[in-house]
């Protein structure tokens, strides 16, 4: 099976700023791929290169087996895109925009559109200027979800949605995946990525810093452990892989590099475990760790 998106060594500069600096990204067909990074990391720039709106300075980019800059017309029939900041024509109604985008993409499912309008509780008769940010986003989302595109490219699609609509969105994306479509989801909302994505790529300053399944990534990170022991532990803080150990008598909390979990647990058992809470790393921590590295490096 070929990859839906395969990017390697992508470079894009605007004047002197290097927005993308050798970025790699692989999205397998049929998966929901999370695309994470702080503001200005280059997520939207990457997406705009994938859409053929920007021309790459260097690097290999392949989208559905084609070149996004050259094969615009053929590729764009097979993708649907939701921009992060949706603007609508002030004098076109939401329903008109949904139909227009559907027709320009080469067809949409009328039944699916009606169903989505109902689920997202959108009044399609309002004019573009009368919609709130969240409702503008719904217009673009419905247009994309009602299309029969193979690949959905969603750039922070839920930044204006309320929690109820966020849930509707998550269910819709799961349905898309179940029906075999590929989704590239750029997001800030980590709970959303955790709930939806099979694999994620984290980028920073135009480079990919982590990529893999959530399980893979967790493996690379630390597990938090809080434990109450029968006897005070000894030498726990000096074990390899242990970080931020706080030992207050028989109460211990620490983080441990997941591969080193064995040794730490053995030592804890020696001291006699009364209660133990272990928590896998959240994406938040994963993300923050890279982000902290960045701020540390900047200082």
In the complex, the residues that contact another protein under the rule CB under 8 A are 48, 51-55, 72-74, 76-77, 79-81, 83, 85-93, 95-101, 103-106, 124-127, 129-130, 140, 153
DSSP for 136-203, written as a single string: HHHHHHHHHHTB--SEEEEESTTTT--HHHHHHHHHHHHHHHHTT-EEEEEES-HHHHHHH-SEEEEE
| Number of residues in the chain | 299
**CB 139 → another protein: shortest distance, Å?**
10
Q: Which one, 124 or 134, has the nearer CB to another protein?
A: 124
**CB 109 → another protein: shortest distance, Å?**
14
**CB 145 → another protein: shortest distance, Å?**
14
Q: How many angstroms separate the CA atoms of 84 and 160, rounded?
A: 9
Q: Which one, 130 or 276, has the nearer CB to another protein?
A: 130
**CB 108 → another protein: shortest distance, Å?**
11
Residue 243 CB coordination number (10 Å):
11
Q: Report which of 276, 271, 274, 277 is spatially closest to residue 235, judged by C-alpha positions.
A: 271
Q: How many angstroms separate the CA atoms of 50 and 7, rounded?
A: 9
**CB 13 → another protein: shortest distance, Å?**
11
Q: Which one, 128 or 281, has the nearer CB to another protein?
A: 128
- 102 SS3 class: helix
Backbone angles phi, psi at 114, to 5 degrees: -60, -40
Q: Which one, 136 or 199, has the nearer CB to another protein?
A: 136
Q: Which one, 72 or 261, has the nearer CB to another protein?
A: 72
């Amino acid at each position: 099976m070929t990859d839906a998106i395969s990017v390697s060594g992508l470079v894009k500069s605007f004047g002197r700023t290097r927005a993308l600096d050798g970025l790699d990204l692989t999205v397998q067909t049929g998966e929901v791929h999370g695309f994470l990074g702080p503001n200005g990391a280059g997520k939207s720039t990457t997406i705009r290169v994938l859409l053929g709106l920007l021309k790459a300075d260097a690097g290999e980019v392949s989208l559905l087996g084609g070149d996004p800059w050259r094969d615009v017309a053929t590729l764009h029939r097979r993708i649907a895109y939701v921009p992060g900041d949706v603007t609508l024509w002030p004098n076109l109604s939401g329903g008109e925009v949904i139909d227009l985008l559907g027709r320009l993409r080469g067809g949409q499912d009328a039944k699916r559109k009606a169903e989505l309008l109902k689920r997202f509780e959108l009044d399609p008769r309002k004019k573009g200027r009368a919609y709130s940010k969240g409702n503008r986003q719904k217009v673009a989302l419905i247009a994309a979800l009602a299309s029969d595109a193979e690949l959905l490219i969603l750039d922070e699609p839920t930044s204006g949605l309320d929690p109820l609509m966020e849930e509707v969105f998550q269910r819709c994306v799961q349905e898309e995946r179940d029906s075999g479509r590929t989704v590239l989801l750029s997001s800030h909302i980590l709970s959303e990525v955790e709930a939806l994505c099979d694999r994620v790529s984290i980028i920073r300053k135009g480079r990919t810093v982590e990529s893999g399944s959530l399980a893979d990534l967790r493996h690379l990170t630390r597990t938090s452990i809080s434990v109450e022991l029968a006897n005070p532990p000894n030498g726990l803080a000096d074990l390899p892989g242990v970080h931020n150990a706080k030992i207050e008598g028989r109460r211990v909390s620490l983080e441990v590099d997941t591969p080193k979990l064995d040794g730490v647990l053995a030592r804890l058992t020696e001291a006699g475990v009364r209660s133990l809470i272990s928590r896998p790393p959240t994406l938040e921590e994963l993300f923050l760790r890279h982000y902290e590295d960045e701020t540390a490096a900047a200082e």
